[in-house]
Structure 1
Amino acid sequence: MKLSLAIVAFALAIPTLNFAQDSTAVSSAQQYPNTFSSGSANVSKFTQESKRFNDWSISAGVGVPMIQSADLTSIKNGNGKNLFGYSMYVSVNKAITHAFGLNLQYDRGETRQGWFNTKDAAPSDASVYQRVGARTQYNMISILGDVNISNLLRRVDNKSPYRWALHGYGGIGTFGYKAFQKDEKGQRLATEVKPFNLTNLFAQAGAGLKYKINRRLDVEGRLMYVYTGDDEFDGGGAQYSDINKREDQISDNFFNATLGLTLKLGKHESHLMWHDPLQEIYWKLDVLAEKNQEVEVCKKGDLDNDGVCDDWDRELNTPAGARVDGAGVALDADLDGVIDLYDQCVTVPGPVENNGCPTTPVVDPGTVKEEEKMLDGIEFDFNSDRILPNNTPILNNAVSYINSSTGVYTVIGATDTKGTDEYNQKLSERRANSVKNYLIKNGVGKEKINAVGRGEKDLKYPECEPAEKCPEWKNRANRRVYFEAK
């Protein structure tokens, strides 16, 4: 099963290697976008000529392996002393994206483990338990996934050159080895596994810290942990030998610390693993900046000077000073056919012959009737002088009525009994002035309107003192503005 998964993963990686990088070339063919692509019809097939960065490299390094988990170890206080072996590796590396790549790696080395170095004679004064040493010569081939952790986490909102990068590695492979055991009787071959048999699989994972020396060379310190899955790798002998019964684990595993160099191949300045994803955007913006971006707008000009080009102006003879919409049509807020520039009652519909104001019967300039002295009241929210939207029809009617009358009107503001007398007096004045300003803004002459505030001294419902005695609708009715004719 492990072997099958490895073959499938490798097979899937082959087409990925060929098509992973984005192309910077464009196509001039006008056709419907490919629904299996990014959706753009202006993207050409990726080729070696279109890519702008290198993605192949080779690495080599040397290091020190130390068996950590076994019946015979290379680490003191385990089943052995601190014994250092040697190792080397060579790999061919392919960057698929700026954050992921695949490495085909060959490792060769020798671990030394047990209670003495096999180059030395077995100690005669040690206990029987400690009169054993071993060394293992190994060869390994593996496929490693390479995750550029720094490119996943680093900020990419600047153009600063990168020098350091943290990588994570992990993968599987096949190995062979010769394990030699030595005691007071001498040295002998304990176990031999022929190299590169596909049934002898191992796994390794770890991390490395890279430093970019220049555009061609990187130096990397790496620490890997190798899981062999083999209980005889340490040189302890057969599976049920006395030495191999010292520990229960069935896999002899080791650390491998290495220092290596990476040579980046290719003709381009940048390598994909050192590539800022935004650099392509910077490059494309630079290319666009060098192109002629002059776009001629408003070819026909703006004949009526309304701020809307004649190319899309629906009204080419807008009067000077009139406000227009996005299509160049003069605004008519009340939709009465008289544009706001000429409409004397902007918010109240009226015929053209009356300059956009409604026509009303001529009012007798004589005595004002009792029912005409007071118009409908305008109510307010608590502690507010803002005119509510539902009051605008009343006020618009008041505009028409006052304009058609020869009398002078007083806007009177009032409040409920909540709050102090002094505060309520000022609030009532603000309410009266708010209504007065609305009337003047909508066509009432300043000479025909005054405003006064009476605070809480002019209650529509006098029984609401204090306010807690009355329901809210009565208190709301007390918070009002009304009109009086002089």
Structure 2
Amino acid sequence: MASKKYLLLAGAVGLLAASTSFAQVTPTGYDALDSTKVGRGRMVQQTNFLNHQSNFPAKPRDMWELGLSGGLHLIDGTVPAWPGFGGGISLRKALGHTFSVRAEYIGSIDKGQDYKLRPTVIANGNPWAKTAALNGGYIVPNYRSQNHQLSLDMIASLSNILFYRAEPKINWYVLAGYSIVSADVDVDALDANGNGYDYSGINFGAKRSDIRKQLNDLRDKKYEQNAPSQGNRIAIGRHNDNQLIRHALDVGTGIAFKISKRFNLGVEEKLTMPFDAYLDGYPGPGGSTKDFYSYTSLRLNFNLGNSSKRVQPLWWINPLEYAYSELSAPRHMKLPAPILPDADGDGVTDQFDREPNTPAGAPVDSHGVAKDTDGDGVPDYKDKQLITPTYCQPVDADGVGKCPDPECCKHITPACASLVLPSVSFKGTTTKVGKDQEAILASVASTLKANPSCNVLVTGHAGAKGKKGGVDLSSRRVDAVIDYLADKQGIDRGRFIKQNTPGDSGTVDLAPAN
């Protein structure tokens, strides 16, 4: 039985040693204990977290993402599309670790050429009238569309919350949002002389590629006419540049690969659905169909911001990493005392306690024996003179020697160095405590009330050497902070110690003074 107990103890010691060896490991993505990445507006929450008055750290400031894109753009409609090109620029900001919002501009040029004879279409005019007259009312549609698109999309990252890896290297996401599209759709319906195209020389029984080649040889490719359209056109100056303005719905998906903490490469497929049948200048056979844009792009993304003040965009940070690091090597977490058999409650388990009946509250050594700090034969819990010099011994039954009490040992001040107190910032030459400072100082007062034995060092800074009025301004700001804590929050003025040093004249620092 005893051997099992000693084996259990050896295992516990080994676990403690292992945890100590990893104590310096910190999260690679974001350290919740690092207040330099927290904005001023969230500093009260961060201070409460550091002082164990809140379970949640403040959200850090993160970088913006600037994106450049380019790739295949085409219109999926009735008229078969040729591969077109699109390019864009975007700006993206995280709302949290999963959701972000992105504003984007995309410009594109699309073309298409049919290979079938189709009935002419009359909608907001009939640009094909002359060609249809030559071919029994039939045409072979074509188009060129110049498009401008502004989008606002919500993006959801699906691969940054990881259970088995600290920092994601790949980010897969889906998106949905709204776009407004400006499209200039033109058709090549007349030849260079202004006449319609005669298809009598076209062999429509040939292969598609041969039919398209014959049509391309026939056309002059000027795209001189506005295509038929469903609804309004908005003139912007020239006849051939009349625009269709359409609202649209965006959906898409993409994947990004991290190159460094500043750059990543991505591939994205985005569909834009304006719910219009005339994006290619011709509605579907047998009735209207809804055309849409397809944009398959390669994206180069840059993270913008000062890395000393901001973390990476939050979709590149695993929010579980800090929690796992605390479980592995606690730096902030308060660990509960182990629950082991201890009959007298002195903190030494029964199997190692050499004095198993120590009175409750009596300080003991590592063997469970009541401490006798000064070695006078009277245990500390009975000793009314805890530290009796050897030249004052022997002592009486209360542990009191025959020499006067030394002045140095009358009071023992509890250590307050573990407290974390924030700084208070002032703007310009003001000395008045404003709303932002009141919130910070209210948190300080709460901490001081919970630690009544701790004094506070209030430090002002006179600013750069030779700056006019620096010392006076600094002193008035120090007084304003102390007045607020004393008058408004009820903290005893005797607990404050004032000083002035060189430094940032807009800041008053608070620190434990014991």
What TM-score, normalized to structure 1?
Answer: 0.44
The structure, 1 or 2, with the larger RCO (C-alpha pairs under 8 Å, 6+ apart) is 2
Q: Which has the larger radius of gyration?
A: 1
Give the TM-score of the pair, scaled to structure 2. Answer: 0.42
